[in-house]
Structure 1
Amino acid sequence: MCISARPGLLAYDLQGKEVWHKPLPIPLVEFGTGASPILADGKVVIVCDQDMGSYLLAVDAKTGQQAWRVERPGFLRSFSSPFLWKHDGTEEIVVVGALLVKSYAVKDGHELWSCQGTARVSNATPVAGDGMLLVSSWNVGGDAGARITMAPFEEFLAANDANHDGVLTKEEFPPGPIRDRFSQMDVNKDGKVTREEYEHMRDMFSEAVNQMFAIRPGGHGDITKTNVLWSVSRHLPYVSSPLLYDGRVYAVKNGGLASCYDAHTGEIVYQAERLDVPGDYYSSAVAADGRVYVTSQKGTVVVIDAGRDVKELKVLARNAIGEPVFATPALVDGRIFLRTDKHLFAFGEN
């Protein structure tokens, strides 16, 4: 299965022949589609969180016919992929979006629970293991001590509405982080920000929470105060998802800062330790045979010791591929498959 901004959702057989094509509208966000589709109970499930008209869609995996669709009012742009959480003999679809995590029934898409405490825009995809779900999200303006705040609309309008028409164009915003996010405020893309659009963005900056947190299963309704096991709010990844492996949680912040936590308590094993490979990290970490593999956007694979007795960061190797990497490696039959912007590599023992 693949999803593309223009043609929609497509399915191919193993010989590369197109089986079906489900046309979809172009996402209402300048970055296009960011989330990947998943398979759940014979359905292909995709989320389209965009600046207006967000939704969760399930289609029949064999035919591409719609099985169900759930609207997501209030959710603006996010790029986290849906996650199929399997636990206690059941399955649910978890989607991390702006300010909230929500869970949906696989059968018909009805909402099971929600949890507050995510960033204004979410990129990372949840992971699960050891009887918990792990959610991570970070975005500009949500850190304690570095929060972005917006003045009330009437106050801002009085100071900046140059032509006194009661709405705001991009040119009427002073240079800075708010103006930089004009396209997010301009929900309907008419080149003007209304009171409603402005105040919605103001509320999002006010309510956004940058954190990584663990959720125990079994919740219903709003589980914010009942099912969150632990959380951390410093040195979070931006795009890459956390890794839960052998009782520990691994995360890499842009700049090459690695952190490790006890999966059951959130206790810090080590935090913000340098990998000595700077730059951004869009690829998520993977693990096998007591090692964690972390890949920088510039194309260096860092191998970390993931032994249970390790109490500090121990880098085993740094391997420069020499090509940009945005995709997460795949581990199959003792081999590491790594896609760069130009090639597909396979690594393993001869």
Structure 2
Amino acid sequence: MVKSTAVVVLFACSLSLLPASDPAVWPQFRGPNGSGVADTEKPPVEFGPEKNLKWKVPVPSGMSSPVIFGDKLYLTAFDGGKLLTIAYAIADGKELWRAESPAAKIEGYHKTEGSPASSSVATDGKVVISYFGSCGVFAHDTAGKPLWKYELPMAVTAADFGTGVSPVLVDGLVVLQRDDLKDPKIIAIDAATGSRVWEKKRQSPQSYGTPAVWDTAGGKQVVTPGYGRMVAYDLKTGDEKWSVAGMPSAACTTPVVGDGILLFAGWSPGDSEDKEFKFPTYDELLKQGDADKDGAISKEESENTFLKGFFDNNDTNKDGKLTRDEWDAQIKFMSAAKNGAFAVKAGGTGDVTKTHVLWRKTKGLPYVPSAVLYKGQYFMVKDGGLVTAYDPKTGKEIFVQERVAAAGRYYASPVAANGHIYTVTLDNGTFTVFKAGEEVPDPVAKNPPLGERVAATPAIAANTLYVRSANHLWAFAEK
């Protein structure tokens, strides 16, 4: 008896000396440094409402993406007029705490395609950083205790589409790119104290893509998409290091870094060289919808035109009529777009458009979902279920606009793990899973729809795929 007890004690002691397993980590929008990749994780390939479902819980409205550190998952939400940061247990989806970020007024946002809780949190496992365009930046500890707040005036976004960018937490700094019509800027805040470290004015009145951090030989840089230009700032000082001209007029996507280069792919309406999409002229709108022949488009009339569902965003003076001057001004603003996918090599200063851009392509470009760099390919998905992959170093076309993903619109960015790439449709949450690195796109699983909109990018941690849909939070793992 004594001997067996000693063996048990010895075994227990030996277990205590083993190194603790690494915590589950998907610490910001799109995971580690916004890459969308968790290569060592093994989420299921086949899953759905009836298969490999670990748990499913209801969640309030919002479009922020799940962020994970350790045993907790974080979301932002908009519920009952309140802006919230909410923590859940990754083991069973139990809500652990919620904290309100008070706002005097909620920012303008598109009621079906946006949310005042669109920005994902960032965390290092000690502090949880939330940003709301309505009121500013907020810090909590992992138990939900408020630490500090950095108040900002309500963001005024182009056409009242709302905020989309997420904060980045790196080397003790919270970096926030805040492009709006009144005061576009990028700021760095001390994550421990909430005090401003630096702030730089920007020339970009509109963008929605989250910055990427690039660790170069000359130091870490924060690379930000924007209207007209992509700009890199020194992480420590905020000084502008380099820029690339020619960007979508409404840059929604996030750059990625890898193999010593930085890549970006994005599209928005308005590029004059875009052969696939052209804005209608005002006269064409009148032909479509001006039923009373008064030379203007009312909200009711707009439902029969190209503008269906987007009248309020284009009625800039809010008088209930869309005039020729309003429409032409919108077209002029958007016509600054230059859509493309491109790669930038490190080491440049100033305008490096002609010196450090390795290649540029214009086919297969995504609007909202950011591309993912994985298994030697720069992979992207766009509306219609079209997938495209380029060689990241040369720009060689591997496959272009192959219609093999589920049909529909796409907002969520592709994510990757264990040799697979996951894509999901917006309107009904249909996942297609691809084998990565193939010369032709290889869908290894076409999963049943979740039956709800999925605008948020999934997270991968603890061998589990976490999905936020319109009304639920789902966890899928092999059983």
TM-score range, shorter chain: 0.7 to 0.9
Q: 1:257 to 1:70 in 2, by over 3 A?
A: same
After superposition, the Cα gap between the structure-2 partners of 1:3 and 1:292, relative to the gap in structure 1 and judged at 3 Å, is same
CA deviation string 1:323-346 (max 9, x = no partner): 221111122132222222222222
Post-superposition offset of 1:207: 3.8
Deviation per CA, 1:86-116, whole angstroms, max 9, x where unpaired? 2337310011001110011111211111110
Alignment partner of 2:343 out of 197, 214, 221: 214
1:6 is aligned to 2:134: yes
Measured against aligned partners, the alpha-carbon deviations of 1:6-63 in whole angstroms (never above 9, x if no partner) come to 2321111111222112111111121222100001221111111112321111111012
- CA positional deviation for 1:148: 5.4
Partner of 2:13: none
- Name 1:290's counterpart in structure 2: 419
- Match of residue 161 from structure 1: none
Do structure 1's residue 112 and structure 2's residue 253 form an aligned pair?
no
Contact 1:211–1:231 (CA under 8 A) maintained in structure 2: yes
**Residue of structure 1 equivalent to 2:185:** 55
- For 2:455 and 2:306, locate their aligned partners in 1 and report how far apart those are by CA, in whole Å: 26
* Alignment match, 2:154: 26
Instruction: Measure the CA separation in 1 of the matches of 2:168 and 2:457.
Output: 15
* Kept in 1: contact 2:263–2:392 (CA 8 A): no
- Report the number of matched residues: 324
Question: Does the C-alpha gap of structure 1 residues 149 and 54 become closer, same or farther in structure 2, counting only changes over 3 Å?
Answer: farther
1:57-96 matched pairs, under 5 angstroms: 57-73=187-203, 75-88=204-217, 90-96=219-225
Deviation, structure 1 residue 289: 1.4
| Contact persistence 1:83–1:93 (CA under 8 A) | yes
Partner of 1:126: 255
Name stretches of at least 5 consecutive residues in structure 2 with no aligned partner. Answer: 1-128, 283-295
| Aligned pair partner of 2:407 in 258, 274, 278 | 278
Q: Which moved more, 1:62-71 or 1:200-209?
A: 200-209
Q: What does residue range 230-245 of structure 1 map to in structure 2 within 5 Å? A: 230-245=359-374
Q: Which residue of 2 aligns with 1:226?
A: 355
Segment of structure 1 superposing worse, 94-103 or 12-21: 12-21
Offset of residue 237 of structure 1: 0.5
In the alignment, is the contact (CA less than 8 A) between 2:412 and 2:455 conserved in 1? yes
How has the CA–CA distance of structure 1 residues 206 and 327 changed in structure 2, closer, same or farther, with 3 Å as cutoff?
closer
Which runs of 4 or more aligned residues in structure 1 lie more than 4 Å from their structure 2 counterparts after TM superposition? Answer: 146-151, 175-178, 180-186, 197-206
Mean Cα deviation higher: 16-25 or 250-259: 16-25
TM-score (norm 1): 0.83
Partner of 2:431: 301
Match of 2:398 in 1: 269
Q: 1:44 corresponds to which letter in structure 2?
A: V
Measured against aligned partners, the alpha-carbon deviations of 1:50-88 in whole angstroms (never above 9, x if no partner) come to 123211111110121111111113x12111112111233
Instruction: Tell me the distance in 2 between the aligned counterparts of 1:27 and 1:21.
Output: 16
Shift of 1:264: 1.3
Alignment-mate amino acid for residue 4 of structure 1: F
Aligned mates of 1:177, 1:215 — CA distance in 2: 36
Letter in 1 for 2:231: K
Q: 1:109 to 1:149 in 2, by over 3 A?
A: farther
Distance apart, 1:118 and its partner CA: 0.6
In structure 2, distance between residues paired with 1:324 and 1:149: 28
Q: 1:138 to 1:106 in 2, by over 3 A?
A: same
- Per mean C-alpha deviation after superposition, the further-off stretch among 84-93 and 242-251 is 84-93
- Distance in 2 (alpha carbons) for counterparts of 1:203 and 1:6: 28
Q: How far apart are residue 204 of structure 1 and its match?
A: 4.7
Aligned-partner residue type, residue 397 of structure 2: I
* 1:311 pairs with 2:439: yes
C-alpha distance in 2, partners of 1:291/1:328?
Answer: 16
Tell me what 1:334 maps to: 463
Matching residue of 1:139? 268
Give 1:348 deviation, angstroms. 2.2
Is residue 260 of structure 1 aligned with residue 385 of structure 2?
Answer: no
Higher-Rg member (1/2): 2
Cα deviation digits, residues 288-316 of structure 1 (max 9, x gap): 11110111112111100114xx2211111
Query: Is contact 2:312–2:318 with CA below 8 Å preserved after alignment?
Result: no
Which residue is 1:164 aligned to?
A: none
Q: Tell me the secondary structure at the aligned position of residue 354 of structure 2.
A: coil
Match of 2:143 among 1, 4, 15: 15
Q: Flag the 1:276–1:131 CA change in 2: closer, same or farther, 3 A.
A: closer
Matched with 1:346 is 475
Is the Cα contact below 8 Å between 1:149 and 1:202 reproduced in 2?
no
**Match for 2:359: what amino acid?**
W
Q: For structure 1, which runs of at least 5 residues remain unmatched after alignment?
A: 152-168
Q: Would the aligned equivalents of 2:412 and 2:456 in 1 still touch at CA under 8 Å?
A: yes
Distance 1:182 1:205, change over 3 A: farther
Matched AA of 2:402: E
**Distance between the aligned counterparts of 1:219 and 1:212, measured in 2?**
19
